[in-house]
Amino acid sequence: MTRVAVVTGGSAGLGRATVRELAARGWDVAVLARGKDGVDAAVAEVEAAGRRGLAVLVDVSEREAVEAAADRVEAELGPIDLWVNDVMVGVFGRFLDTDPDDFERALHVTYLGCVNGTRAALSRMVPRDRGQVIQVGSALGFRGIPLQAAYCGAKHAIVGFTESVVSELEQQGSKVAISRVDMPALNTIQFQWVKSKLPHQAQPVAPIYQPEVGARAIAATAERPRRRTWVGESTVYTILGNRISARFADWYAAKTLVSGQQAPQKDGAALGVNLYEPIPGDHGAHGVFDDSAHAWSPQTWWVEHRRLGNGIIGAVLGAAGAIALAAGRRR
């Protein structure tokens, strides 16, 4: 069976890891991004896995360009079964120190890029009454932190936008699925090419996970759709902690996350700024934090093996019940 996926931002970072994971699981993959070197390299990996790939150069903040890209995908690969909205650009620095044009550019790509991708996907999927859109969210879509106001604002907006569209599809009785997969801090290339006002190299907030952790969660959600998936223990703690005490979360973020998002030992790792134009070259999936990034966690294993995990719980509870019943009979 042919399954066609589109991954925006698929040339590097989490998007690149997702392209690899989907191809390994038998998907044909169209890679949408701005940088030719990375897009071509990602498609070569899809083809090396024995699947069809398609390279499409597009800036997802441009609605008409995204529509044209979707038309090309369906003309060359076939009907789109899965659309993954992963693309983002960022600016690091205090809000009042950030150039307003840079701030708006980050919102246009990260938020409106998601909106444009969702529109392109749904306008084709809804008439067929099948397909799935996956929004790559973040723990920072629920808890804002200092120095990343544009990114946090965009990810918060994606949550509200997605909930609105999901409710509309449900009211219509549509079989098209929209899922949101919320990520922890990942060791991706984004921290080397964000526009930064920081004195030191930008870094993810620890704990850091490898991008393959997120990619496996996306692929698992594609194969067994569910509306919301949290990836990594830190995402769970962040979201639940903010629900319990937002004031404490404000204090903790202010106290720890300005220095916690800088890595003096990695100074010099920056590649340039990709906010308006792509950085030439193939940059792969990983950033410069391999030495501190986790490739696995119990929580993400559960996301990937939910049925097996639930079966184990059922078996344990069943055995415990049988033991308790036998013990009661002996009394």
Q: Active-site residue numbers?
A: 151
Show the tokens assigned to 199. Answer: 């004195």
Show the tokens assigned to 248. Answer: 């404490």
Show the tokens assigned to 47. Answer: 């083809």
Contacts of 218 (CB under 8 A, 6+ apart): 18, 21, 22, 84, 134, 136, 181
Q: Cβ(243)–Cβ(72) under 8 Å?
A: no
Residue 267: how many other CB atoms lie within 10 Å: 11
State the maximum Cα–Cα separation within the chain, in Å, rounded to a whole number: 76
Question: Which spans in 61-210 are helix H?
Answer: 63-76, 100-107, 113-128, 149-172, 190-193
Q: Is the dihedral of CA 162, 82, 74, 105 positive or negative?
A: positive
Residue 164: how many other CB atoms lie within 10 Å: 9
Phi, psi angles (nearest 5°) of residue 64: -65, -35
